[in-house]
Structure 1
């Protein structure tokens, strides 16, 4: 009861604050800097704004990124070079510093690129960030993909969370145009909590040094003993997977509880080049796993649900608040008219 009363009070205060407070969000859009790749001679596609470099084994090369400080004060920026990985939404990402990768990766960018951890740029000035690439002597096929991330360091805070503004420039390294045969492997299937929901996660691995895009996931989960369909799978969201990366493909259980038992996953993954991979994998959900996952998701959600009467009271409060605001406005207009008369 105390929690509900507190919630109602907070809602009322926030609403009043939003009504009378001037808009202060515009200033947050002013990042105050930008970055630009200085494309070298070995840039493959010169129409691109990212680094698309043709490299040779056992060679070194310096590349530069222009860091433009458009703000009125000197600023400091943190620098990271991150390997491309596949994020939890099924897209290629560069934001994570130590993302999990498959052991088949030709080399890690952090092992072959030297760069300063930070760079300072005076107000309204441009400084050039220099990175040194030391390509290993062992040749590789395909691509090594990553991103150069520049993050503005700031002490500005909102709700005790430090604001950070970042830009990323892609870095694609190749030694030839030799085609690479694509492949995709299913590592495991097991129940899990994903996006705070009951799920079954199929861990997929791309063991090839080539990114794959326009991926489509179609399939079903069935009860093993009678082949009864439990879940249908149809994801066609232009998903992708990074080179030499792993991806936890989460099959949403639609907020339904997991039931212990033996199941089979039938999954087909296809790309835009008409490649297709078919997986048929048995898996088990134990009673302990089902109980723990259900408790962490469905049961917790039910506990946190507010009763209907709370929302009715909030609606009444909103109506009353609006009514009093209208009365206040009308009163002020009458007072202004009396003064002018």
Structure 2
């Protein structure tokens, strides 16, 4: 009994320290989404809107939200223009990034929705989405997402834990005036220095400056000292995608290395659209339709390097709170083991008596 009580006390103590906050996202919606497919949908088998429209055409899409609970549900509605994150994934539900300067038409400026709707318990509601094709020529495609976010009046909370509910569902929306495929074009705008989770990294600012998706993108990058042959850092990423007229801050991670001020050169080779008969071949032997070569000189300033190095894992190692937590867990485990050993010894001594 004593051993069991000690274990319960230890578990309770650890729970207090470990259960500080919990963020839940994306999988627990209290409503379902049903799209009404219009006659100008390019492919009825697609699970998103892919509309072929005339210049200046306006139409209203209908999206049905069905409440799957016995309580009233509020849903916020918004529209975003598609962007590309640093992992080479197209984002349809965020406004964190700005489009490339080459973007002629931003989808979110041509879509109107109600800001919020309320679905009665076990009921449904039709959300009208008005889309307007620009009056001018659209060479490629406008891409974005219609975002439905469940609204909670107040975050639920329990003792020792805060639960933040943020549930969303995004309907992808593509709008075009022609089904003609636009050839992609990639450009390297700049090389910068930054930190990702307190790890030093270089970023290649890559631009897809055409109004079409750049699919199955592969990037092979190397960094050398200016005028030198020796490769200091290198990385390769495959099967990425860029949205039309967007930028991507592609990272070259330095691990635990510190920045060293000086002059450098980035050597970048990018491939797009795999094809069996493609004339361009990457280092793994895969054939591609498109290829781009970039060489970009850049400077790491001493002041910037020092500032980032002071805040990096390379200088400070793990955060103090993580070190303290690990130390606490080790102490608690050592205490448990020590107590168990003492109790077992006493038990054996009693048996001998």
* Partner of residue 244, structure 1: 245
Evaluate the alpha carbon distance shift between residue 45 and residue 301 of structure 1 in structure 2; reply closer, same or farther with a 3 A threshold.
farther
* Partner of residue 318, structure 1: 333
Show the 5 A alignment for 1:218-237: 218-236=220-238
Show the 5 A alignment for 1:46-85: 46-85=44-83
Show the 5 A alignment for 1:6-155: 13-15=12-14, 30-97=28-95, 99-154=97-152, 155=154
**Length-normalised TM-score, structure 2:** 0.80
1:35-68: per-residue Cα shift (whole Å, max 9, x none)?
1211111111100121111111011100011111
- Please give the secondary structure, in 2, of the residue aligned with 1:180: coil
Q: Distance in 1 between matches of 2:214 and 2:325?
A: 48
**Length-normalised TM-score, structure 1:** 0.82
Q: Distance in 1 between matches of 2:167 and 2:180?
A: 38
Task: Tell me which moved more, 29-38 or 122-131.
Answer: 29-38
RMSD, aligned α-carbons:
3.2
* Partner of residue 283, structure 1: 298
Alignment of 1:296 onto 2:298: no
- Please give the secondary structure, in 2, of the residue aligned with 1:259: coil
Task: Tell me which moved more, 309-318 or 136-145.
Answer: 309-318
Evaluate the alpha carbon distance shift between residue 304 and residue 162 of structure 1 in structure 2; reply closer, same or farther with a 3 A threshold.
closer
CA contact (8 A) 1:83 1:99 kept: no
Shift of 1:306: 8.3
* Partner of residue 162, structure 1: 164
CA contact (8 A) 1:255 1:298 kept: yes
> Structure 1: any 5+ residue segments left out of the alignment?
1-10, 329-341
Q: Distance in 2 between matches of 1:307 and 1:145?
A: 41
CA contact (8 A) 1:36 1:49 kept: no
Q: Distance in 1 between matches of 2:59 and 2:15?
A: 59
1:151-174: per-residue Cα shift (whole Å, max 9, x none)?
000123355563111000110111
